Amino acid sequence: MVKSNIVTLRKAKNSIMLLLCFISAIYGIFWLFWILITLVIKGSEAFSLKLLYLDPTPPGVEGGGLRHAFVGHFIIVSLATVIGIPIGIMAGIFFSEYGKRSRLFTVLRMITDILVSVPTIIVGATVYAILVKPLHHFNALSGIVALSIIIMPIVAITTNEMLKLVPNNLREAAYALGSYKWEVTLKVTVRAARNGILTGVLTGIARIIGETAPLLFTSFSNQYLNLNILKPMASLTVYIFNYVMGPYEYWHQQAWASALILTLIILLLFGITRLIIRERRK
Amino acid sequence: MVEETILETKERKKAEKLEVVFKAIFGFSAITVGLIIPTVVFIVLLAESKLIIEKKGLIKFLLSQKWDPVSDEFGALPMIVGTLISTFISMLLATPIAIGISIFVVELAPRWLKEIIRQAIDLLGIIPSVIYGMWGFLVLAPFMATKVEPFIQRALINIPILNELTSGTSTGIDVLTTSLVLSIMIIPFMSSIVREAFEMVNPLVKESAYALGATKWEVITTVVIRSSIPGIAGGFIISLGRAIGETMAVAFLAGNRPEIPRSLLEPFTTITVALANQFTEADTELYLSALYALALILFITSFIMLLTAKIILYRLSRNGQI
């Protein structure tokens, strides 16, 4: 009798705890849906093509768009990508192909891994001291440098991980044909891992597209369309921050629409990486 | 024949030269990312915060409560305490949920559901923090202010300590809302690492436990969780580092009030909020230097924390458990 009581108790505890696990999964998904659904509804309500081709009106005057911020964001992110990706990939190549047995580079790889998660606002503060203070005014170049510093470790670590997956006999086969190390690395190893490296690149871009904090006091903001990277440049994320904190309803609406576009781009990049990973599994 | 040999040696020389060139470029990139950048960051932060530390002294800067740029008073305590409070509460909210989600995904869910929940939680992780922040500010904060917080206040009004912790006017821009949004943000980081640790648990040990008559929950606690404690610890510390360094979500919601909050419903500030809001306003050298000192504290703390987590996880992977 006592025994069966214990069994019932254990079974009850089992069911309750498993139910709690189920609830926590629902809890996580609940927030995701709340955020995404608000974003989609408010964003699509507020979206109009004018957002893309009009510049902002003076504060308080309804209408206008954020063309300058879209252009600025594109310039900053793409130049940061152009600088950051090659250095990141090459660093990843070195960690995996040259520095695997070196103590120094094992440590450097670990530091790189840490840099992926270091608060990005710190990068902004550092770049401010180097590129904004001496020039006495905010400029887009500093924002570009900040974002490129943020993307480098992300790409380096994924490249490294992806190259690790390339089987060693592939490298050995290439060496057996009399190839030099750089030929093996570039023509065989990197080529074999190119899809994986691409996922790292896309993840990195998705990450820096959404960055705000490091841009707040580097590229700052600009009311006008600006193509000169030595002057302050508007970016979408900084504009979202300023508009949301601002007093006007139409600012909030434009911020929702921009946030939706930003999120869709990031989701697209995320979707592509998932497809690539799935392809490879096959 | 001779010409061919000359050609071959030329080719070879070229290839050998390229060998050196490529190694140098790759090596330089690795040193740039892994050594030069972190060193420059550290030196710049140190050099820029020298002024305030010389003028005020490190201990006084860290322990002074008053932050008033107008009268040149810079005490970091409100920011440090604010960071600690919001991080603590958000970890308290996120940890059980992240573990629960991982258990559900790895041990309980049927395959199709597993994939959906996994992708959904990963999605939660790639939404930029500025969007969490704006959603928190425009949607969640008003909801908290009008519905949730008055309800909590009414429910706790007769309970000592708890009623003081929830006293004040409910504006939604406060410790509670900030910590809640922060906890939603770190759930995906933590659960992805915990999930990986769970997936590495040897299925034979689990099956042996089942064979002894253990219930599913008993298997989970005695086998799965116990053998993934290092993985859970690593994921916990990494998420802690994220929570401490998270800027934008917090910048919308904290209210940027440089005082130590007495209640969960008061606005406050954190290190990152102070940096995000005040950096462009810093009009004196001393002010800027005080902000750099905050950045330095943040950098050192998060670096040490992440290092600890990586060492734990690295050891694990070397022992072949993850």
The pLDDT value recorded for residue A282 is 64
State how far residue A113 is from chain B, nearest Cα, in angstroms.
8
Euclidean distance between CA atoms B218 and B209, whole angstroms: 8
What stretch of H or E contains B74? strand B73-74
Euclidean distance between CA atoms A140 and B32, whole angstroms: 22
Among chain B residues, CA nearest to A243: B134
CB B305 within 8 A of CB B240: yes
Those residues of chain B that have pLDDT short of 50 are 321-322
Is the CB of residue B19 less than 8 Å away from at least one CB of chain A?
yes
CB contact under 8 A, A24 and B23: no
Helices (H), chain B: 2-31, 37-56, 58-63, 77-103, 111-126, 129-135, 141-143, 149-156, 162-165, 175-199, 203-211, 216-219, 226-227, 229-245, 248-253, 271-278, 285-318
The pLDDT value recorded for residue B7 is 66
Is the CB of residue A277 less than 8 Å away from at least one CB of chain B?
no
Residue numbers in A near B128 (CB within 8 A): 209-212, 237, 262-263, 266
The pLDDT value recorded for residue A1 is 53
The pLDDT value recorded for residue A62 is 87
The pLDDT value recorded for residue A22 is 94
Residue numbers in A near B123 (CB within 8 A): 32, 36, 267, 270
Q: Across the interface, which of A99, A244, A270 has its CB nearest the CB of B30?
A: A99
CB contact under 8 A, A180 and B16: yes
Q: Which of B17, B26, B39 to mutate to test the interface with A (most CBs of A within 10 A)?
A: B26
The pLDDT value recorded for residue A123 is 97
Which of 162-181 (B) contact A at CB < 8 A? none
State how far residue A169 is from chain B, nearest Cα, in angstroms.
21
Give pTM, 2 decimals.
0.93
User: CB burial class (10 A; 0-12, 13-18, 19+) of residue B196?
Assistant: middle
The pLDDT value recorded for residue A2 is 62
Is the CB of residue A80 less than 8 Å away from at least one CB of chain B?
no
Euclidean distance between CA atoms B8 and A278, whole angstroms: 44
Residue numbers in A near B147 (CB within 8 A): none
pLDDT tens digits, one per residue of B203-250: 999 999 999 999 999 999 999 999 899 889 989 999 999 999 999 999
pLDDT tens digits, one per residue of B244-271: 999 999 999 999 999 999 999 999 999 9
Mean pLDDT per 10-residue segment, chain A (282 residues): 79 93 93 95 94 89 91 97 97 94 93 94 96 93 97 96 93 92 92 93 95 94 91 95 93 96 95 87 66
pLDDT tens digits, one per residue of A137-154: 999 999 999 999 999 999
As a whole-number percent, the residues of chain A with pLDDT over 70 amount to 98
CB contact under 8 A, A111 and B35: yes
The pLDDT value recorded for residue A211 is 95
Burial A25-61, CB ≥16 within 10 A → b, else e: bebbbebbeebbebbeebbeebbeeebeeeebeeeee
Which of 116-155 (B) contact A at CB < 8 A? 117, 119-124, 126-135, 137-139
The pLDDT value recorded for residue B322 is 42
Q: What SS3 state is found at B73?
A: strand
Among chain B residues, CA nearest to A10: B215
Residue numbers in B near A249 (CB within 8 A): none
